[in-house]
Amino acid sequence: MTTLSTTDALRTFCDQAATAPYVTVDTEFLRERTYYSKLCLVQLAYPGDGETDAVLVDPLAEGIDLTPLYDLFRDAGVVKVFHAARQDLEIFAIEGDTIPAPLFDTQVAAMVCGFGEQVGYETLARKVAKAQIDKSSRFTDWSRRPLSDAQKTYALADVTHLRVIYEYLAAELEKTGRTGWVEEEMDVLRDPATYRVEPREAWKRLKMRNPNARYVAVARELAAFRESHAQSANIPRTRIYKDDALLELAAMKPKDMGELSKARLLLREARKGAIADGILAAVAAGMAVPKEELPPVPRQKARDQINGALADLLRVLVKAKAEQAGVAQKLIATASDLDDIASGTRDGDWARGWRGEVFGDDALRLCEGEIALACKGHEVRIVPLD
């Protein structure tokens, strides 16, 4: 188990990896007490079975520079293979201003290849690589040094078996002509905007029930302050105040410390100092927004807007299509997507690209009364209507 702790050693490995068709990548990090993930370990492997073909990189080693790693990530001739890549890519996008490309996510590929929804690495390792993963080190403190042999073994297994998994899935995709399907799914992961959280947009993640425009304006300012403060202090946003407290404040609209103290859901630390001042300033800013500049009220999908019978038919259709294609149903269309369609929506990811071919086109035809569904035994059939 080779651990690279110097820039020269990392550069030597990356130069060799650059001659390979692909490199598998994983990370270990901590995020429980910070806003941004703390990178504690990087695991890398390229094809082969030699002792130096798979290594651990210690980003916490004194004086190490990860530039050779980021250069490898930008090498267009080497596919970078991850499993469930989103969090790993976020770290590299923020710390190294780099998103690895070309990119391949084995979790997405496995969903396209019929392994079910959000299949775990351990499951793929067992089914494809015929390997058992020892999970005992999963929740250890990866920032502590030295790492134990058990930690190193666990971490290295995340990239060694991934080589077998990648080669199997890539071959399956090539055989079925679905390589392009996975490429479509990589577009979101390759987009730098995926990993940027703009404080002024943070309010859009809130679940507000029947809000009015002024309430939304105050909530927007409170969410923006919380996000900015969390980023600058590098602490989790929930350490400032949780969503339920934010929505309570948006309803209360406190004008001073006395009114602020009446908030039931606010943490003690938020009732004084910079956070309390920020809350009051955010509320004041939300109240000062001119009427004509108030943010749009998020549209709530009322249950009575959904055609229940159509929604049921769409669920039958997507299930049948998923089974026929051998693709995870959730990857084609979510339950929310189906409700949107049954509410009158006629566009979305489900209607474009490979999803449109597999499901979207027939979903639209079903909505327009151009087809019906029939069942024979366990098979659901599409019946054209004149």
Cis peptide before 384, with omega less than 30 degrees from 0?
no
- Provide the 3-class DSSP secondary structure of residue 54: strand
10-residue averages of pLDDT along the chain (386 residues)? 96 98 97 96 94 95 98 98 97 96 97 91 95 86 95 95 98 96 95 94 90 94 98 96 96 96 94 96 98 84 76 96 94 94 94 96 95 90 89
- Residues 6+ positions from 27 with CB-CB distance below 8 Å: 39, 40, 41, 42, 43, 87, 88, 91
Cα 133 to Cα 181: distance, rounded to the nearest angstrom:
29
Beta strand pairing status for 38-45 and 54-57? Answer: antiparallel
Amino acid at 12: T
CA distance 39 to 115: 30
| pLDDT given at position 301 | 55
Q: State the pLDDT at residue 303.
A: 54
Give CA separation, 70 vs 10, 27, 93, 215, 357, in Å: 11, 14, 10, 44, 37
d(CA 235, CA 274): 14
How far is it between the farthest Cα atoms of the chain?
73
**Contact of 51 with 164, CB cutoff 8 Å:** no
Cite the beta strand spans of 31-91 per DSSP E.
38-45, 54-57, 79-82
**Which residue has tokens 């038919």?**
313
Residue 180 · residue 354 · CB < 8 Å:
yes
Nearest one of 357, 369, 358 to 310, comparing CA atoms: 369
- CB atoms closer than 10 angstroms to residue 55: 22
Tell me the CA end-to-end span of the chain in Å, nearest whole number: 67
Q: What is the DSSP letter of 2?
A: E
Residues 207 and 144: beta-carbon distance below 8 Å: no
Other C-beta atoms lying within 10 Å of the C-beta of residue 4? 23
Q: Is the dihedral of CA 327, 331, 335, 338 positive or negative?
A: negative
pLDDT at residue number 279: 98
This prediction's pTM: 0.90
